[in-house]
Structures are given as C-alpha cells and as structure tokens.
Amino acid sequence: MKALMTQLVHELKRFNASSESVETVFIGGGTPSTVSPQLYKPIFDYLKPYLKKNIEITSEANPNSATKEWLKGMRELGVNRISFGVQSFNPQKLKILNRAHTPEQAKNAILDASEVGFENLSLDLIYATLGDTKELLAHDVKSAFELPINHISAYALTIEEGTAFEKKPHMSKERLSLTSWIFKTIQAKGFSQYEISNFGEYQSSHNLGYWKYKDYMGVGCGAVGKLNLERFYPSTIVEEYVKNPLEIRVETLNEEDKKIEQIFLGLRSCVGVEKKILNAQELKRAKLLEDEKKVYMKDNVFYNYDYLLADEITLFISS
C-alpha cells in the first residue's frame, strides 16, 4: 500500500490532476476484498481533494472475501459501487473455473452489500465454458436477476498465458448462437447492452470512460495507464513493484494505432465512431457498411448494430 501511494502521488503529478478533476475510481485487478479498508484509508484521504463531486467509486470483490465488515468499511471510505466476481451460480461450474466460493456465498455477499446500503451492484458471469448449456446459462441469468443488482458483466472465457487454464484450451468453448441468446436474455430482463460484455439499468461511467478513449491513471502492480498517445506499465510482479513502484515502462502509440483503438472501442460499445476521425477511404468503407445495414449513422457518429462483429467491422473500415 506504501508503494501504491508512492505511485499515486507520481501519477497525479504526471496527469497534472487538479482539484475535483478525477471523474471515476475503480479498485480492481487482483482481489481488493482481501485488503482491509483501514489499509485503503491513507489512499482515500490523499485522493479526496482530487475527486469530482458525486463521483462513481467502484471496487471489485470476490464473494468469499467480501465480508459485511469489509463492505461497511469500504462504504465508509466513499466506495459506492461493488462489482462481484460471481462467474456462475452452478456449483460444478464454479469448481471447474477454480473459484473459491459457492453460489450461496455469492448470493449472501450481494444481499449483504445491499443491506449495508450499496445501491449500485454489479456481478460478473462467465460463459463460453466447456459444459455450458442453455439451461445452465438460463439458471445463471435467472439467479442474477433475483438479486438486488443494476448491472451485469458477461465475459466469454478467455485462456490466458501463464494461468492454470493454459494447459486446458478446450475449456473455452464458444457457440455464437448461445452467446447471442445470452445477450438477448439479459436484455429482455431490462438491462440494456452498452458494450459487448456490459449490461445495465445503470451504466458505469468508469467503463464508458475507457470506450470514450478518456485518459486514465493505472496505479498498482499490473495496472495500465493511458495519457494521450502514451501507455504506462508498472511492474506486474508484486515484489518488484513494491521495491520500485516508479519503474514504469512507457509505450508510445502512433496516430494510426490511436485511430484503430478508437474505432474498435467505439464499435464494441454504445459510444460509436465519430465520422470526423475517418479519412476519405475509411469513410467510403463505413458508408458501404451503412448501405449494407451493418452500421448506422446518427449525428455524425457511426454505430454498430451487432457488437459481436466489432472486430470484423474495424478491420474492414481500417484495411
């Protein structure tokens, strides 16, 4: 937490942060719910003058470590949104995903959060997993909507290098018909899809910030920051980060990289792509897609009908 503070002070300077200029805060990454609220206190005290009024402050939490005391403590610090890593309400699937909690624990953690006074609650589901059936996913969605939540993130299982799943690539099994079905089912319950993996009655301003291509500080081991064309990567190894939190790798993008990022982020979400960022060739191809009813334009912004096609449409426009 001391290293985190050192980096935070550094980033606030680098980003030229002024009073009330920070628009959202998100505590995520590993498992914030294993750290006691007391340890976050100096960070929150330091950040306070920089925070905008009525700011959205989210913390991720795992159901097995988010106790009522932890939830109360975080709320006292100013956290007003909790995102729970539920993944599934099926006990076998949780085991397959190496999760340490049971469906009961997940439900209780969310009910506790609501009791403690959190009004903005989200939960994560994982789909496209070996063994998923329509019945299993229907039960996951139904169980989610029985809880006091106003947001769901639904992710397709991805196999990451260096994780236990690396040797089990068959674990990730996506059937697009099931993916479309899960999107439709969540929306039919009243949560609109504002990004490929995000649905809500409430849309997270923090999430929208990424897709609107706003800048962000990334503070902590393995975090990533963005300032204009630069990306900042502190160490991803905790011991190294603690020793030297200011040893930060910098990557510089060019204008072309920036445009491609803006296009795919815009097409994956309700943000869309402003016509003015496209050159003549790109605009021509975007118009072709408009004629083909793959995208539509409103107030000089192109929007995507089907977020599942975001990558393909990006490649077509920018090729």
Ligand X SMILES: C[S@@+](CC[C@H](N)C(=O)[O-])C[C@H]1O[C@@H](n2cnc3c(N)ncnc32)[C@H](O)[C@@H]1O
Minimum CB separation of residue 128 from ligand X in Å reads 8
Binding test (CB under 6 A) with ligand X, winner from 158, 180, 236, 244: 158
Residues 6+ apart with CB under 8 A from 250: 230, 231, 232, 233
Closer CB to ligand X, residue 50 or residue 155?
Answer: 155
Contacting range for ligand X; rule: CB under 6 A; set: 27-35, 45-53, 106-114, 181-189: 27-35
Binding test (CB under 6 A) with ligand X, winner from 1, 10, 14, 28: 28
Judged by DSSP in three states, 159 sits in coil
Q: Is 209 in the site for ligand X (CB under 6 A)?
A: no
Contacting range for ligand X; rule: CB under 6 A; set: 153-161, 208-216, 223-231, 270-278: 153-161
Sheet (strand 301-304) strand order: 273-274, 301-304, 295-298
CA 33, CA 100: separation in Å to the nearest integer?
Answer: 13
Minimum CB separation of residue 31 from ligand X in Å reads 5
Q: Which of residues 173-202 bind ligand X (CB under 6 A)?
A: none
Minimum CB separation of residue 245 from ligand X in Å reads 20
Binding test (CB under 6 A) with ligand X, winner from 85, 200, 218, 225: 85
Q: How many residues does the chain have?
A: 319
Q: Is 155 in the site for ligand X (CB under 6 A)?
A: yes
- Which among 191, 184, 114 has a CA at the least distance from the CA of 145? 191
Sheet (strand 230-233) strand order: 225-227, 230-233, 249-252
Q: Is 62 in the site for ligand X (CB under 6 A)?
A: yes
Binding test (CB under 6 A) with ligand X, winner from 7, 12, 24, 60: 60
Minimum CB separation of residue 156 from ligand X in Å reads 6
CA 172, CA 174: separation in Å to the nearest integer?
Answer: 6
Q: Is 160 in the site for ligand X (CB under 6 A)?
A: yes
Counts of helices then strands in the chain (DSSP H, E): 12, 13
Q: Is 140 in the site for ligand X (CB under 6 A)?
A: no
Question: In this structure, how many other beta carbons lie within 10 angstroms of the beta carbon of residue 34?
Answer: 12
CA 46, CA 70: separation in Å to the nearest integer?
Answer: 20
Which residue ranges make up the site for ligand X (CB under 6 A)? 28-31, 60, 62, 85, 87, 124, 126, 155, 157-158, 160
